């Protein structure tokens, strides 16, 4: 059986560490507040927003919820973001994605002050990440680095393959692995001979968005596999981009779905909120 990289346990540990930091900050008179904006009532978004509120309550961060109707205009949303930018009580602003089709998500992300950009999606945060400056890092890839480090997995010098090049997962993931001195390849839908490319990887991160896409013929013996994918099957059970049962005898370590990458995203959001307040 491979090493199971336990995202539930590691994220709980990070939240406990943050809880202590938040208490110390409170003792010094610093309070932390996250504003969470949701437009419309997409059920999946409502679950994510609720989980974020719960994590805030656990860690000791105040959360302000803005639940706006589906027909909210882009101007109204940007006005709210701009108001929160100048509200000294608010340290972090999160706009839950996806937004309704009539709103340009990029324009809304750009409206968030880079000092309060706890999702790490603002172009300034992304630019800082690229040039190695301090800044907010997108929560899912930041969580994956924590999973690797806290599981004792060395990144430096390793062949790392990220499959997927989205702005929120694949691209920042590749930069973070590079920052940790991995030798990084990024694959995408136009990559040729993906199986061959994948079989060179010591660390494989699958962020493809296709259930059970990665089978054992993509895996080098003893590879570490990180499964970012999240899908519900017909029985409403979660599965990832990796066919866990098919690869488990070939890998040295792997994240399960659920209980791997998923819980880390919220833990890193809490981390970014605490950092915002410490600034
Ligand atoms: P996305 O924006 O849809 O990007 C998917 C990427 O996979 C694209 O770059 C695409 O390439 C690539 N791809 C698609 N088909 C491929 C193929 N056959 N071979 C190689 N590459 C292929 O998805 P995302 O937002 O990055 O999310 C990826 C997955 O992670 C989803 O399942 C999502 O639900 C999950 N996710 C989980 C968390 C979490 O907290 N656990 C957070 C975010 C996302 P092109 O660029 O060429 O189209």
List, for residues 135-163, the tens digit of each pLDDT value.
999 999 999 999 999 999 999 999 999 99
CA of 238 to the centre of ligand 1 (A): 16
Pocket (CB within 6 angstroms of ligand 1): 140, 163-166, 168-170, 187-191, 194, 207-210, 228-230, 261-262, 265
Please confirm, yes or no, whether 104 is among the known catalytic residues.
no
Q: Is residue 279 scored above 90 in pLDDT?
A: no
Please confirm, yes or no, whether 119 is among the known catalytic residues.
yes
Is the previous residue joined to 3 through a cis bond, with omega within 30 degrees of 0?
no
Residues 271 and 14 sit within 8 Å (Cβ to Cβ): yes
Please confirm, yes or no, whether 210 is among the known catalytic residues.
no
> pLDDT digits over 33-79, tens only?
999 999 999 999 999 999 999 999 999 999 999 999 999 999 999 99
Residues 228 and 241 sit within 8 Å (Cβ to Cβ): yes
Measured from the Cα of 165, ligand 1's closest atom is 9
Angle of CA points 66, 57, 62, to nearest 5° = 50
pTM: 0.97
CA of 208 to the centre of ligand 1 (A): 3
Sheet holding 33-39, edge to edge: 62-68, 33-39, 92-95
CA atoms within 13 A on the CB side of 148: 25
pLDDT at 11: 98
CA of 75 to the centre of ligand 1 (A): 30
Average pLDDT over every residue of 180-190: 98
Atom 4 of ligand 1, nearest CA residue: 166
Residues 145 and 176 sit within 8 Å (Cβ to Cβ): yes
pLDDT at 233: 84
């Amino acid at each position: 059986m491979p090493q199971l990289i336990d995202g539930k346990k590691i994220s709980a540990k990070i939240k406990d560490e943050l809880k202590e930091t938040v208490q110390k900050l409170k003792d010094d008179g610093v309070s932390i507040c996250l504003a969470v904006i949701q437009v419309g009532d997409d059920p999946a978004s409502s679950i994510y927003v609720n989980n974020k509120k719960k994590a805030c309550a656990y860690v000791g961060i105040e959360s302000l919820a803005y639940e706006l109707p589906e027909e909210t205009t882009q101007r109204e949303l940007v006005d709210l973001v701009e108001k929160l930018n100048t509200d000294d009580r608010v340290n972090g602003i999160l706009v839950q994605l996806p937004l309704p089709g009539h709103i340009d998500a990029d324009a809304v992300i750009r409206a968030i002050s880079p000092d309060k950009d706890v999702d790490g999606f603002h172009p300034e945060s992304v630019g800082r990440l690229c040039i190695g400056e301090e800044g907010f890092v997108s929560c899912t890839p930041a969580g994956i680095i924590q999973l690797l480090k806290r599981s004792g997995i060395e990144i430096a010098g390793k062949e790392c393959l990220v499959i997927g090049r989205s702005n929120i997962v694949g691209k920042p993931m590749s930069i973070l692995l590079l920052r940790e001195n991995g030798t990084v390849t990024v694959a995408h839908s136009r990559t040729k001979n993906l199986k061959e490319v994948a079989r060179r990887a010591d660390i494989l991160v699958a962020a493809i968005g296709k259930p059970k896409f990665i089978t054992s013929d993509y895996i080098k013996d003893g590879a570490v596999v990180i499964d970012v994918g999240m899908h519900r099957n017909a029985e409403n059970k979660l599965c990832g981009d990796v066919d866990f049962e098919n690869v488990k005898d070939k890998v040295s370590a792997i994240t399960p779905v659920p209980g791997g990458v998923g819980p880390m995203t919220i833990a890193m959001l809490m981390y970014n909120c605490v950092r915002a307040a410490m600034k």
